[in-house]
């Protein structure tokens, strides 16, 4: 009998398969089917597969019955399998998986460290590179003769950048949504791209409210703009756009130099994209200095610190109940998406995290208010969603005040108007510890300047107007574009009626303004309207009904007036595009695609010499905005408005809201950080929100001071900044504290409190000085720069410009002249030459000793007896100076006087003569004596002429006719001289003081001290030091900065004869 295993081919395979199926069909036990019985059967069966199957089944059944009726013989322990319990099997498998996890994790950790090791570089990447001479020393030109940055220092950094060097220059102003979308869409090799912005990061603005309370970290919302620009091999300049010269295609930008000074230069362009954004709209409300804003990262950080400051102050035992409730009253002015989301985030933080860190009584006394001028918050959303948001806030005890308008913001409360049940307007107030002002947008100063320059072409007061191709209206066609919040697309369909009819009129040989069109022609006109104004397509769906509606005479045609009325109706229905990130993003994508098309078409157009006409329209379609919907967070809930599909919900909607913004985030890095922040909030809460950093290190103090002052200057609003910082000197451990209680463009009060010795950081002082320099009128009695010029080894860079110079001060024996000499010495105590002149030499000698005693031997003082009213003495002045004092850099024409209060015709001739000789002739003679020294210096001359005038030169008053005439003459001479020297580097400056207490009045009243003192009764006049600080400040500016005209008043003075005196 042939064994089954020896059968080969198809027969053996079928037999083995039959035995296996038979075993399974008879439900034999595993040991039986796989054991010796089955092996024996396989050995004995030899019949073919077709006849063997029944025999096999019979034999197996027989074996099964035997195994059922008889017990199997006992097996030896070695032969029987080990039966494990379920627990042991579970542990075995658990340890197996754990081991696999540990091994895989270890491999991943090792792989990460291996990757991390590759990110470090031990060898330097520095190599010799070629830099254009024009990049290092740009030529000067343009209307203001500024450097022109035709080549940048990184133009030759790589072969790719070298290839772009001579491509069309595309300059982008701003790093907002529109600019970043444009950069992401551009083809890398088509343009030489330069981005200019004061911020070197892109900010994800929709989630900025979350950063104010610590739900998200600030770094999770920003992306370095240089990383984005690197895709197109572009360039970035951290600077601010100041102006545009459209005719020469130059953008004037200003940057802050390392020494804190402002440097202006030109940037040439072939195409310019303006995306400078907007600023918060003040709506003419008083008291915004007490408000916070929410436009950038700096604002978010200030808000976070203000919230913590209020909570800490409310926790102090000595705080009264009334004051505690005020501190814990948070008011949001504006019910738009930003205000609503901030109110929601703030309430969530106070509700979820406050009790973990602060006394529970604070939670019971906290109140959040939202003031909205419209009937609902989120008025741009569907009304159902607005009501849902209001109901949600009502549930959370957030006070919503609709139909309310803020009247005034005061330090501790907000006044607003609201209509009562009878329709009468009543004024109400809310105690306020914190106020966020979020009430729409307004134009930036740069946008306003461009709008004024373009004149009647720009009629919108809120934004720059563009056509449907996003080209700036009024600028050369195809050169300048505007996107984002700073712009709006014109909806003036009716203004282009002639161009729409031109083709039809040409075909019919008629005048467009005299022809009539039928329905067929109307369809063609409507098609051209849709192409030119895509936003009008929504209102041109039923052409037949529109034609019938405006065919008033039922003639079956539309004449010019009927068509014009139809298009005007469409104009009225078209709304301005919303100032949202969504719109800016779509505009940036549109411009990127258009520029790519223009670059592709450029070779063909150049070959055919097509460089005129509407090339944009020929190459690419007009911009069409598509509303992708709106969403908002309303406190552990979210609402969605997707073009008619509206819904709202709780946490599920919140997760969807997060998912939408997560997907829209600009990079993988920010997405990972967002996910980490949301995870940290879930695990640890917003604990970091409760931390207010103390900026104690030197570098942090500098950055913080600069940050606060720059924000104040930029917003051009008064700010109450409760700011205290301490600085540790690396050299001697000295520290200082600053308090900035009030900053304003026309009044700057700075109190400096010393803990020991020290000086302000250069950046901080730079912004203080910039605030002063941009003021038209400075109330100098409120400018307390105590010890600002104190001798120190830490001199600020702007004031170092005075070192090594020679300064002449006339009339230095007393008053303003004496204080000016001392102030120069204090400012530059190491290396300065001072020439002080007056008629009283002995007083000048005393001044010399006084300066030496205060600042040491670093300042060389030369007293010179000089009567400026004597022309002979003035002519011999320079020639009689020692050689080391002849190279004069600064002339301060301070000498002057007034005699009597007589009125014509009773004015003494001697008084007239001495006043004109001293105040006018003497000043002119001194200027003519020193001016040749300035003109001989360098190629275009250099030097400062500072004339001390008076408010009397601007506003003559009774009893001072001659004195007023002399100061008016000084003013005219100064203005004319400045114009005569405009081609040189010689600065001509006038400083006009108001009421200053000096010996001036004593001389006026011929030595009558009692009469002189009555002039200052009931008021606090300026001191000579106040004027001296302004004079030295003007002399210490960068060479290109001219403080041409300064008018300084004490707080109680508004004009030459308008003063407030205490009774």
DSSP string, 347-397: HHHHHHTGGGTS-HHHHHH-EEEEE-SSSSSSTTS-HHHHHHHHHHHHHTT
Distances 1057 to 746, 789, 853, 958, 1062 between C-alpha atoms, Å: 20, 33, 40, 9, 15
Residues 473-495: tens digit of each pLDDT: 999 988 999 999 999 988 776 66
What backbone torsions phi and psi does residue 854 show, to the nearest 5 degrees?
-85, -40
Instruction: State the pLDDT confidence band at 770, using cuts at 50, 70 and 90.
Output: very low
Closest to 854 in 3D by CA, of 871, 832, 874: 832
The residue with greater pLDDT, 767 or 333, is 333
> What is the spatial distance between Cα 181 and Cα 158, in angstroms, rounded to a whole number?
25
Looking at residue 440, its pLDDT comes to 83
Residue 762 pLDDT class (50, 70, 90 cuts) = very low
Least confident piece of the model among 174-183, 666-675, 900-909? 900-909
* Ramachandran bin of 675, using left for φ above 0, alpha for ψ from -120 to 50, beta for the remaining angles: alpha
**DSSP 3-state assignment of 1038?**
coil
3-state secondary structure of 753: strand
> Of 514, 479, 453, nearest to 611 (Cα)?
479
Q: Which residue has the tokens 């002249």?
A: 817
CB atoms within 10 A of CB 885: 16
How far from 729 is each of 697, 750, 761, CA to CA, in Å?
8, 22, 11
Q: Residues 946, 890: contact at Cβ < 8 Å? A: yes
pLDDT band at 277, cuts 50/70/90? very high
Q: E strand or H helix at 930, and its extent?
A: helix 922-935
Q: What percent of the chain has pLDDT over 70?
A: 74
Residue 414, phi then psi, degrees to nearest 5: -125, 130
Residue predicted with more confidence, 258 or 2: 258
For residues 385-402, average pLDDT? 90
Decide if 987 contacts 1042 (C-beta within 8 A): yes
Q: Which of 540, 345, 568, 360 is nearest to 436 (CA)?
A: 345
Distance CA 844, CA 838 (A): 7
Residue 789's contacts (CB-CB under 8 Å, 6 or more residues apart) are: 799, 823, 826, 827, 1029, 1032
Q: Which residue is associated with the tokens 């540990």?
A: 102
**pLDDT number for residue 937:** 87
Which of 31-45, 585-599, 634-648, 1017-1031 has the highest mean predicted lDDT (pLDDT)? 585-599
How does strand 441-442 pair with strand 279-280? antiparallel
Where does the pLDDT of residue 773 fall: very low under 50, low under 70, confident under 90, or very high at 90 and above? very low
Q: Give the residue, 192 or 420, on which the prediction is more confident.
A: 192
Q: Which of 900, 1001, 1005, 890 is nearest to 948 (CA)?
A: 890
pLDDT for residue 1015:
74
Is residue 235 classed as helix, strand or coil in its secondary structure? strand
Q: Whose CA is closest to 200, among 167, 171, 223, 166?
A: 223
Query: Tokens in use for 999?
Result: 């010996």
Structure-token pair, residue 989? 């400056």
Rounded to whole angstroms, how far apart are CA atoms 66 and 50?
A: 26
> pLDDT by residue (tens digit) across 216-225?
998 999 999 9
Considering only CA atoms, which of 861, 845, 764, 847 is closest in space to residue 806? Answer: 861
Look-up of token digits 């599909």:
645
Average pLDDT, the chain: 79
Q: Is the model more confident about 797 or about 320?
A: 320
Q: In whole angstroms, what is the distance from residue 275 CA to residue 193 CA?
A: 14
- The confidence score (pLDDT) of residue 1058 equals 84
Lowest mean pLDDT among 138-147, 293-302, 603-612, 939-948: 603-612
| Inter-residue contact 192 to 277 (CB < 8 Å) | no
Confidence (pLDDT) at 554: 73
Planar angle of CA 217, 223, 228, nearest 5 degrees: 170
pLDDT of res. 74: 56
Pair of tokens at residue 232: 């197109």
Q: Which residues pair with 736 in a beta bridge?
A: 754
Task: Quote the radius of gyration of the chain (alpha carbons, Å).
Answer: 41
The mean pLDDT value for 363-369 works out to 91
Dihedral over Cα of 488, 494, 495, 498: its sign = positive
Quick one: pLDDT band at residue 648, thresholds 50, 70, 90? confident
pLDDT of 90 above 60: yes
Structure tokens at 420: 């009562």
Mean pLDDT, residues 679-689: 77
Contact (Cβ atoms closer than 8 angstroms) between residue 992 and residue 894: no
Quote the tokens at residue 813: 């024996």
The band of 437, judged by pLDDT with boundaries at 50, 70 and 90, is very high
Residue 707 is predicted with a pLDDT of 44
CA distance 690 to 688: 5
The confidence score (pLDDT) of residue 176 equals: 93
Retrieve residue 15's tokens.
């037999």
Lowest mean pLDDT among 23-32, 436-445, 538-547, 589-598: 23-32
In this predicted structure, the answer to whether residue 908 has a pLDDT above a threshold of 80 is: yes
Give the pLDDT confidence of 959-984 residue by residue, as tens digits: 889 999 999 999 999 999 999 999 89
Window from 463-467, 721-725, 890-894 with minimum mean pLDDT: 721-725
Q: Which of 432-441, 461-470, 541-550, 667-676 has the lowest mean pLDDT?
A: 541-550
Report angle CA 530, 531, 536 to the nearest 5 degrees: 30
Give the max Cα distance, the chain: 160
CA angle (309 as vertex; 285, 689 as ends), nearest 5: 105
Q: Is the dihedral of CA 392, 394, 400, 401 positive or negative?
A: positive
DSSP 729: -
The dihedral built from the CA positions of residue 214, 217, 218 and 221, taken in this order, carries a sign that is negative
DSSP per residue, 23-55: HHHTT--HHHHHSHHHHHHHHH--S-HHHHHHH
Q: Work out the pLDDT band at 507, boundaries 50, 70, 90.
A: low
φ, ψ of residue 631 to 5 degrees: the values are: -145, 155
| pLDDT mean over 336-347 | 92
Confidence of residue 68 (pLDDT cuts 50, 70, 90): low
Which residue in the block uniquely carries the two structure tokens 């045609």?
557
- Paired tokens of 833: 């030459």
What does the pLDDT average to over 54-80?
A: 55
The predicted pLDDT at position 706 comes to 42
CA atoms within 13 A on the CB side of 669: 10
- Interval 544-584: pLDDT, tens: 566 667 667 677 677 666 676 776 776 666 667 888 899 99
- Asked if 635 and 396 touch (Cβ cutoff 8 Å), the reply is yes
- Classify 431 as helix, strand or coil: strand
Residue that is written with structure tokens 């220092």 in the block: 153
Q: Residue 471: which pLDDT band, with cuts at 50, 70 and 90?
A: very high
Q: Alpha carbon of 865 to those of 95, 370, 847: distances in Å?
A: 101, 70, 13
d(CA 286, CA 299): 20
- Whole-number Å distance between alpha carbons of 328 and 433: 6
Q: How far apart are CA 635 and CA 646, in angstroms?
A: 18
Q: 586, 507, 519, 529: which is closest to 549 by C-alpha?
A: 519
**pLDDT at residue 189 tops 60:** yes
DSSP assignments along 640-662, one per residue:
EEETTEEEEESHHHHHHHHHHHH
C-alpha 474/C-alpha 495 separation (Å) is: 15
What confidence score (pLDDT) does residue 385 get?
A: 86
- Going from the C-alpha of 165 to that of each of 194, 215, 592, the distances in angstroms are 11, 44, 20
Strand, helix or coil for residue 850? helix
The model's confidence at residue 256, banded by pLDDT at 50, 70 and 90, is: confident
Q: Which residues contact 907 (CB under 8 A, 6 or more apart)?
A: 900, 961, 962
Q: What is the pLDDT of residue 96?
A: 92
Report the relative pairing of strands 645-649 and 638-642 from DSSP bridges.
antiparallel
Mean pLDDT to the nearest integer, 1049-1062: 85
Residue 853 to residue 830: CA distance in whole angstroms = 13
Place of tokens 């411009």: 591
CA-closest candidate to residue 164, choices 614, 799, 599, 774 = 599
């Amino acid at each position: 009998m042939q064994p089954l295993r020896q059968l080969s081919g198809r027969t053996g395979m079928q037999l083995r398969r039959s035995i296996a199926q038979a075993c399974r069909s008879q439900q034999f036990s595993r040991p039986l089917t796989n054991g010796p019985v089955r092996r024996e059967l396989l050995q004995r069966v030899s019949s073919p597969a077709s006849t063997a199957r029944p025999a096999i089944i019979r034999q197996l059944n027989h074996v099964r019955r035997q195994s059922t009726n008889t017990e199997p013989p006992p097996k030896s322990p070695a032969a029987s399998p080990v039966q494990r319990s379920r627990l042991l099997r579970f542990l075995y498998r658990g340890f197996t998986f754990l081991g696999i996890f540990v091994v895989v994790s270890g491999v991943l950790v090792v792989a990460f460290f291996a990757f991390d090791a590759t990110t470090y570089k031990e060898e330097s990447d520095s190599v010799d590179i070629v830099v254009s001479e024009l990049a290092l020393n740009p030529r000067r030109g343009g209307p203001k003769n500024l450097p022109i940055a035709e080549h940048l220092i990184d133009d030759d950094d790589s072969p790719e950048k070298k290839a772009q060097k001579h491509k069309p220059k595309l300059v982008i102003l701003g790093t907002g949504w529109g600019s970043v979308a444009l950069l992401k869409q551009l083809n890398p090799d088509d343009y030489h791209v330069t981005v200019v912005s004061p911020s070197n990061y892109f900010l994800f603005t929709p989630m900025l409210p979350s950063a104010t309370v610590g739900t998200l970290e600030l770094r999770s919302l920003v992306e370095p703009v240089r990383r984005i620009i690197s895709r197109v091999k572009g360039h970035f300049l951290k600077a601010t756009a100041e102006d545009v010269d459209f005719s020469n295609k130059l953008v004037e930008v200003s940057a802050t130099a390392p020494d804190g000074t402002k440097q202006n230069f030109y940037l040439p362009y072939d195409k310019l994209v303006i995306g400078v954004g907007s600023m918060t709209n003040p709506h003419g409300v008083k008291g915004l200095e007490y408000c916070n804003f929410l436009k950038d990262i700096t604002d978010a950080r200030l808000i976070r610190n203000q919230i913590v400051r209020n909570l800490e102050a409310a926790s102090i035992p000595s705080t009264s109940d009334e004051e505690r409730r005020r501190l814990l009253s948070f008011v949001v002015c504006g019910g738009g998406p930003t205000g609503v989301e901030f109110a929601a985030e703030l309430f969530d933080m106070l509700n979820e995290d406050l009790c973990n860190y602060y006394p529970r009584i604070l939670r019971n006394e906290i109140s959040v208010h939202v003031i909205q001028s419209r009937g609902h918050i989120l008025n741009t959303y569907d009304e159902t969603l607005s009501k849902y948001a209001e109901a949600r806030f009502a549930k959370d005890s957030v006070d919503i005040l609709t139909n309310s308008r803020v009247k005034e913001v005061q330090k501790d409360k907000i006044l607003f108007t609201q209509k009562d049940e009878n329709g009468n307007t009543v004024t109400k107030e809310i105690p306020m510890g914190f106020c966020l002002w979020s009430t729409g947008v307004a134009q930036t100063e740069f946008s306003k300047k461009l709008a004024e320059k373009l004149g009647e072409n720009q009629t919108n007061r809120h934004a720059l107007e563009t056509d449907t191709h996003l080209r700036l209206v009024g600028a050369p066609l195809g050169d300048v574009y505007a996107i984002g919040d700073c712009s709006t697309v014109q909806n003036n369909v009716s203004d282009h009626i002639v161009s729409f009819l031109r083709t039809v009129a040409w075909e019919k040989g008629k005048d467009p303004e005299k022809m009539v069109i039928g329905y067929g022609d109307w369809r063609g006109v409507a098609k051209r309207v849709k192409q030119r104004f895509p936003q009008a397509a929504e209102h041109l769906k039923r052409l037949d009904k529109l034609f019938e509606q405006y065919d008033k005479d039922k003639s079956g045609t539309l004449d010019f007036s009927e068509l014009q009325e139809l298009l005007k109706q469409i104009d009225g229905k078209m709304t301005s595009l919303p100032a949202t990130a969504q719109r800016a993003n779509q505009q940036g994508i549109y411009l990127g695609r258009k520029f790519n098309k223009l670059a592709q078409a450029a070779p063909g157009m150049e070959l055919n010499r097509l460089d005129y006409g509407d090339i944009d329209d020929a190459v690419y379609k007009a911009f069409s905005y598509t509303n992708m919907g709106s969403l908002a967070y309303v406190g552990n809930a979210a609402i969605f408005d997707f073009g008619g599909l509206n819904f709202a919900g709780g946490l599920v909607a919140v997760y969807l809201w997060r998912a939408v913004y997560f997907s829209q985030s600009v990079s993988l890095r920010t997405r990972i950080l967002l996910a980490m922040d949301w995870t940290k909030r879930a695990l640890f809460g917003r604990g970091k929100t409760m931390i207010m950093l103390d900026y104690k290190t030197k570098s942090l103090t500098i950055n913080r001071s600069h940050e606060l002052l720059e924000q104040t200057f930029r917003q051009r609003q008064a700010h109450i900044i409760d700011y205290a910082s301490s600085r540790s000197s690396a050299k001697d451990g000295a520290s200082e504290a600053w308090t900035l209680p009030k900053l304003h463009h026309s009044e700057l009060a700075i109190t400096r409190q010393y803990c020991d010795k020290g000086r302000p950081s250069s950046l901080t002082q730079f912004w203080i000085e910039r605030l002063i320099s941009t003021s038209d009128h400075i109330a100098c009695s409120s400018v307390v720069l105590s010890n600002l010029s104190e001798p120190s080894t830490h001199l600020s860079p702007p004031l170092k410009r005075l070192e090594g110079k020679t300064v002449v001060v006339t009339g230095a024996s007393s008053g303003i002249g004496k204080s000016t000499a001392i102030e120069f010495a204090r400012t530059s105590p190491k290396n300065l030459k001072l020439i002080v002149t007056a008629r009283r030499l002995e007083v000048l000698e005393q001044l010399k000793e006084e300066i030496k005693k205060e600042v040491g031997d670093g300042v060389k003082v030369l007293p010179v007896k000089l009567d400026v009213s004597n022309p002979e003495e003035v002519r011999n002045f320079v020639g009689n100076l020692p050689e080391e004092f002849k190279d004069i850099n600064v002339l301060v024409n301070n000498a002057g006087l007034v005699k009597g209060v007589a009125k014509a015709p009773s004015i003494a001739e001697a008084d007239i003569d001495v006043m004109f000789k001293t105040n006018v002739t003497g000043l002119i003679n001194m200027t003519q004596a020193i001016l040749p020294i300035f003109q001989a210096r360098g190629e275009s001359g250099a030097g400062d002429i500072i004339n001390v005038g008076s408010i009397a030169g601007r506003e003559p008053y009774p009893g001072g006719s001659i004195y007023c005439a002399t100061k008016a003459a000084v003013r005219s001479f100064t203005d004319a001289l400045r114009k005569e020297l405009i081609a040189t580097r010689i600065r001509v400056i006038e400083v006009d003081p108001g009421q200053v207490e000096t010996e001036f009045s004593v001389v006026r009243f011929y030595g009558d001290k009692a009469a002189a003192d009555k002039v200052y009764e009931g008021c606090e006049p300026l001191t000579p030091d106040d004027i001296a600080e302004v004079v030295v400040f003007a002399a210490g500016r960068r060479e290109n900065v001219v403080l041409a005209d300064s008018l300084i008043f004490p707080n109680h003075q508004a004009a030459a004869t308008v003063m407030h005196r205490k009774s």
